[in-house]
Amino acid sequence: MARFSNKVVLVTGAASGIGEATARRFAQEGAQLVLADLNEKGLDRVAGEIGAEAVLTHATDLSNADRCEETIAATLARFGRLDVLVNNAGKDHLGRVDEGDLKDFSVVIETDLYGVFYMTRFALPHLRKSRGCIVNVSSVSGLGGDWNHSFYCAAKGAVTNFTRAVALDEAKAGVRVNAVNPSLVYTPFTAGMQDQPDLVAKFEERIPMGRAAQPEDITGVIAFLASEDARFVTGVNLPVDGGLSASNGQPALS
C-alpha cells in the first residue's frame, strides 16, 4: 500500500516511541519524510533504520517558536511542499499539582501545547497550498482527568480543543485537522510509569481490552486520519484506548 507516494510528511518527536513508529509507517506507505526531535542521535538512528533516501532529519526544540519555524523552512527547502503534519512531540510530569518544580509545569505546557501551536501556525500556509492535513497526538488525558498527571492533562486538554478550533477555521481551505487520543502506551515516554507496577496495574485495569498499547497500535489510526480514506473527517479527537472511553467516565477499578 502506497497511500502517501509523492506526499511529504513531517513527524515531530520522531526519535522514539509513537513518533518513531509513525515515521516507519509512513515510510512503508511511500512518504517523503521529515523527522524532527531534540534527540539528534535518535533521529539519525531512525532515519538509518528506515533506509529511505527521501528522509530529512531536523534536530529541533519544539518548545521554541524560532526553531519550529526553521523546521518548516527546512522542509520546504528540501521538498518544496508539505502535505501532512503529525504533532507528536511531548513531555510528561508524574505528580500532584504541588509536587515538582514550577518549571516542570512550564516544560510540559511549552512542549505539549506551545509546540503544537507553533508547528501548526508555521505549517498552515503550506498545508493550505497542498490541501493537506494535521494529525495531533493528544491523549485520553486530554478528554478526561488522570491521577498524578494534572500538568499533562492541562496541556493535552488544550490540544484536544485546539484541534477542534483549527479544524473549524481551516475546513473551507481544505485542511483537515484531527487528533488521536491514546491511553497508556508502552514507550520510553512512559518509562517512569512503567517503573511503578501498582500504578500501571490500575491503568490497565481501567482498559477493557486489559492491556496498554504498543506504538504500532496507534500509528495505523494516524495514517488513516492523514489519508484520503478520511477525506470527510475533520475536527475529530479519536480515542485509541482499548475501549477505555466506552466506560463513559466510570473507571473500572475495584
Q: Is 152 a catalytic residue?
A: yes
- Indicate the helix (H) or strand (E) that contains 49: helix 40-50
**Beta carbons of 81 and 10 less than 8 angstroms apart:** no
User: What b/e sequence results for 40-53 when a residue is b if at least 16 CB atoms lie within 10 Å of its CB, and e otherwise?
Assistant: eebbeebbeebeee
Cα torsion through 166, 25, 139, 114, rounded to 10: -50
**Beta carbons of 203 and 190 less than 8 angstroms apart:** no
Residue at grid coordinates 475536527: 235
Residue at grid coordinates 491514546: 182
**Beta carbons of 89 and 61 less than 8 angstroms apart:** no
Q: Which residues lie across from 79 on neighbouring strands? A: none
Angstrom distance (rounded) from CA 133 to CA 111: 21
**Cα 108 versus chain centre, distance:** 14
Which candidate in 114, 118, 152, 186 is catalytic? 152
* N residues, the chain: 254
The DSSP code for 165 is H
Q: Is 3 helix (H, G, I), strand (E, B) or coil?
A: coil
Angstrom distance (rounded) from CA 85 to CA 90: 15
Active site residues: 152
